[in-house]
């Protein structure tokens, strides 16, 4: 979709599917409102498990073709959300999925966990200076739930936020750009507890997730910003469904490869960690308090 409002939102995620689960409604809403939405995904998710039996051969221990397949899933998901600008950090396959914390894949050269943070951030600085987003969304320092690629995505995104604003840092990557507001993905404790209780009562999956399985859970008062994406429920559901190797969607619930039900939230939650909060407690808009930017993002600068 062509940007028309001058609002520009950048999201940094670890694997294809994280964006749709965590921010699908937010991305669809801002895209529909005419904002430029840019997604940077740091790995292809090569290390993921595969749910459909007929696709089990894609996994890293068999054909090792899951990464390429997941580019297709991500493409379909972005089509569902109305987002046309999605990229992989350093290009597709530059950084490989590191697997869950503690597995041998953490030590493989070329995996994202082994990446030099400043070098990886350089790829993102180039995107920041090109796109000039007012808002950045990424994970908290624990990556939401301790996955190495999520932790590293946090480090790289926060480092790029700093470096992009420093005119002395690699001027060949473009003019310095200060992102006005940075948010981390969050899930209020009371919301996930209620949602999981509902899943236990109504969902059709064999089991139900625990709060510890859900990324970014915090005490309710940590949440600064609540995005109502109810109008985008269909788009978010379609995007999550597109990630079929990773997610099974059933109505208002979904499960990952562990078959444990979770609620599919169309309200999404954030913690403002850099920049000034806008009006409202909580904020209901990631761009709240920012001066309207009349000039649409420049096209054709890629
Ligand atoms: Zn992930």
- Report the CATH number at residue 68: 3.40.50.10320
Low-confidence ranges of the chain (pLDDT < 50): 294-302
Cα of 185 from ligand 1 centre, angstroms: 13
Q: Would you say 44 and 70 are in contact if contact means Cβ atoms under 8 Å apart?
A: yes
- DSSP 8-state symbol, 214: S
Residue 293 has a pLDDT of 60
Residue 173's domain comprises: 8-186+222-227+268-274
Please classify residue 225 by burial: count the beta carbons closer than 10 Å to its beta carbon, then call 0-12 exposed, 13-18 middle and 19+ buried. Answer: buried
Q: What is the pLDDT of residues 7-28, one digit of tens each?
A: 999 999 999 999 999 999 999 9
213 in any annotated domain: no
251 in any annotated domain: no
Binding residues for Zn(2+) are 15, 18, 150
Distance between CA atoms of 9 and 268, rounded to whole angstroms?
Answer: 15
Binding residues are 15, 18, 150
Cα of 43 from ligand 1 centre, angstroms: 9
> Structural domain tally of the chain?
1
Cα of 90 from ligand 1 centre, angstroms: 18
Token pair in block for residue 209: 């997730």
239 in any annotated domain: no
Cα of 293 from ligand 1 centre, angstroms: 32
Instruction: Tell me the pLDDT of the chain averaged across its residues.
Output: 95
116 in any annotated domain: yes
Distance between CA atoms of 150 and 139, rounded to whole angstroms?
Answer: 7
Q: What is the pLDDT of residues 47-84, one digit of tens each?
A: 999 999 999 999 999 999 999 999 999 999 999 999 99
212 in any annotated domain: no
192 in any annotated domain: no
Cα of 251 from ligand 1 centre, angstroms: 22
Beta carbons within 8 Å of 9's beta carbon, 6+ residues apart: 26, 27, 30, 35, 36, 37, 38, 133, 134, 135, 137, 286, 287
- DSSP 8-state symbol, 109: T
208 in any annotated domain: no
């Amino acid at each position: 979709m062509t940007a028309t409002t001058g609002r520009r939102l950048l999201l940094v995620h670890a694997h294809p599917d994280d964006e749709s689960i965590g921010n699908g409604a937010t991305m669809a809403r801002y895209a529909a409102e005419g904002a430029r939405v840019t997604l940077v995904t740091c790995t292809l998710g090569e290390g993921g498990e595969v749910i459909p039996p007929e696709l089990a051969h894609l996994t890293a221990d068999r054909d090792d073709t899951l990464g390429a397949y997941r580019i297709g899933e991500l493409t379909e998901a972005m089509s569902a959300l109305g987002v046309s600008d999605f990229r992989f950090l350093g290009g597709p396959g530059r950084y490989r999925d590191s697997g869950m914390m503690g597995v041998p894949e953490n030590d493989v050269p070329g995996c994202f966990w082994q990446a030099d943070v400043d070098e990886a951030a350089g790829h993102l600085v180039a995107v920041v200076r090109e796109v000039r987003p007012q808002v950045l969304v990424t994970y908290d320092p624990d990556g939401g739930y301790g996955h190495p690629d999520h932790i590293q995505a946090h480090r790289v995104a926060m480092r790029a936020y700093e470096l992009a604003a420093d005119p002395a840092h690699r001027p060949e990557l473009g003019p310095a750009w200060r992102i006005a507001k940075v948010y981390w993905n969050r899930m209020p404790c009371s919301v996930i507890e209620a949602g999981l209780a509902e899943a236990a009562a109504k969902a059709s999956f064999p089991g139900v997730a625990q709060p510890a399985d859900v990324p970014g859970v915090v005490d309710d008062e940590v949440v600064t910003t609540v995005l109502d994406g109810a109008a985008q429920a269909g788009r978010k559901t379609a995007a999550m469904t597109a990630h079929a190797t990773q997610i099974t969607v059933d109505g208002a619930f979904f499960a990952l490869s562990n078959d444990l039900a979770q609620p599919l939230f169309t309200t999404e939650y954030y913690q403002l960690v850099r920049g000034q909060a806008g009006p409202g407690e909580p904020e209901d808009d990631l761009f709240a308090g920012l001066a309207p930017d009349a000039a649409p993002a420049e096209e054709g600068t890629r």
